[in-house]
């Protein structure tokens, strides 16, 4: 005969003991179910995280392949422009060319960098003409062109640095013109009188690598109009001599790679037989401009 379970000083009858045991078993089963739910949740989370990381890794690999293809197309274009057979070279005419590299298709277009305006060496007259072509009034364009020339140190009328600094301080600026060529086109935003809309309009027509006088043959319509304007009114600075038989090309490469990856790269290269290795890579960056 089963003995009753005692709790404290009172025994628990067999029937009640069975109820207690069933209750404990039910609680244990509930704990097991909760543990299984937590394990299932963790497993699902780990699986989802793993899939996300696999997708990220795949995207990174696809982008890396597209970027490598874009860079490869840039160097292939440089070698094309260095071909001694003139008839085999691509023209600097912005016409797209298709290149297959690996699993990527790359669209390449070329521009004549020497057909852009170099604000570090261009005459104030050319800068003023370009500003007017882009919509600035004659007075504002004259003042801004003079300020740019003073900033880069190309102004034919040199004023004392103290006088220039006083003008900038009067405009609420705590700096003055350095009087040296630009290190980047973004530096123009610090020139007295320059505004973001004006700089945005100027930027597509500027370069840090061109001659004082752009090559009119490959110039875009705005630069061509500015050159025509100064021919009627003033004489631009004489061009400085560059490498013999060298061309300066802006190369745009847009690669469409595996997994719908797309990468745009832009490079500026000077190519000519007198240069070391036949070319010099002047700039290379992400983006189409």
Looking at the fold, whether 135 and 185 belong to one and the same domain comes out as yes
Residue 171, domain member (yes or no)? yes
pLDDT tens track for 138-168: 999 999 999 999 999 999 888 999 999 999 9
Domain range holding 80? 14-117+244-289
Looking at the fold, whether 27 and 110 belong to one and the same domain comes out as yes
Looking at the fold, whether 51 and 109 belong to one and the same domain comes out as yes
> 267 has which bridge partners?
251, 284
Residue 260, domain member (yes or no)? yes
pLDDT at 9: 52
Looking at the fold, whether 106 and 157 belong to one and the same domain comes out as no
Looking at the fold, whether 48 and 98 belong to one and the same domain comes out as yes
pLDDT at 26: 65
- Domain of residue 193, CATH code: 1.10.40.60
Strands (E), the chain: 5-7, 10-12, 97-101, 104-112, 247-256, 262-271, 279-286
pLDDT beneath 50, residues of the chain: 1-2, 5, 7, 236-237, 239-243
Looking at the fold, whether 35 and 77 belong to one and the same domain comes out as yes
Overall pTM > 0.85: no
Q: What is the dihedral of CA 28, 33, 38, 43, to 10 degrees?
A: 130
Secondary structure of residue 270 in the 3-state scheme: strand
Looking at the fold, whether 262 and 281 belong to one and the same domain comes out as yes
Alpha-carbon distance of 122 to 125, in angstroms, equals: 8
Residue 212, domain member (yes or no)? no
Residue 129, domain member (yes or no)? yes
Burial of 233 (0-12, 13-18, 19+ CB in 10 A): exposed
Looking at the fold, whether 56 and 108 belong to one and the same domain comes out as yes
Residue 99, domain member (yes or no)? yes
Residue 209, domain member (yes or no)? no
Secondary structure of residue 20 in the 3-state scheme: helix
Q: Domain total for the chain?
A: 2
pLDDT at 18: 58
Q: How far apart are the first and last CA of the chain?
A: 96
Residue 59, domain member (yes or no)? yes
Looking at the fold, whether 65 and 129 belong to one and the same domain comes out as no
Residue 228, domain member (yes or no)? no
pLDDT at 10: 56
Alpha-carbon distance of 102 to 17, in angstroms, equals: 77
Looking at the fold, whether 28 and 167 belong to one and the same domain comes out as no
Q: What are phi and psi of 169, to 5 degrees?
A: -65, -35
Which residue among 174, 198, 222 closes a domain? 198
Looking at the fold, whether 128 and 145 belong to one and the same domain comes out as yes
Looking at the fold, whether 92 and 154 belong to one and the same domain comes out as no
């Amino acid at each position: 005969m089963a003995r009753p379970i005692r709790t404290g000083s009172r025994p628990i009858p067999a029937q009640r003991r069975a109820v207690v045991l069933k209750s404990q078993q039910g609680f244990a089963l509930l704990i097991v179910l909760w543990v299984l739910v937590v394990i299932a949740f963790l497993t699902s989370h780990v699986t989802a995280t793993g899939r996300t990381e696999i997708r990220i890794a795949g995207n990174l690999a696809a982008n890396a392949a597209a970027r490598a293809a874009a860079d490869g197309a840039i160097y292939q274009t440089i070698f094309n422009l260095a071909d001694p057979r003139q008839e085999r070279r691509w023209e600097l005419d912005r016409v797209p060319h298709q290149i297959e590299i690996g699993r990527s298709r790359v669209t390449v277009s070329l521009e004549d960098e020497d057909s852009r305006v170099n604000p570090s060496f261009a005459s104030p007259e050319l800068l003023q003409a370009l500003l007017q072509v882009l919509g600035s009034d004659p007075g504002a364009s004259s003042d801004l062109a003079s300020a740019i020339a003073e900033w880069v140190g190309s102004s034919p009328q040199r004023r004392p640095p103290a006088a220039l600094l006083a003008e900038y301080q009067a405009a609420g600026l705590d700096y003055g013109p350095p009087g040296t060529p630009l290190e980047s086109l973004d530096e123009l935003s610090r020139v007295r009188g320059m505004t973001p809309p004006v700089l945005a309009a100027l930027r597509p027509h500027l370069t840090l690598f061109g001659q004082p006088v752009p090559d009119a043959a490959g110039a875009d319509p705005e630069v061509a109009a500015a050159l025509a304007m100064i021919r009627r009114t003033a004489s631009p600075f004489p061009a400085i001599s560059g490498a013999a038989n060298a061309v300066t090309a802006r190369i745009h490469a847009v690669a469409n790679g595996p997994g719908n990856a797309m990468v745009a790269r832009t490079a500026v290269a000077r190519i000519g037989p007198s240069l070391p290795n036949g070319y010099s890579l002047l700039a290379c960056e992400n983006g189409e401009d």
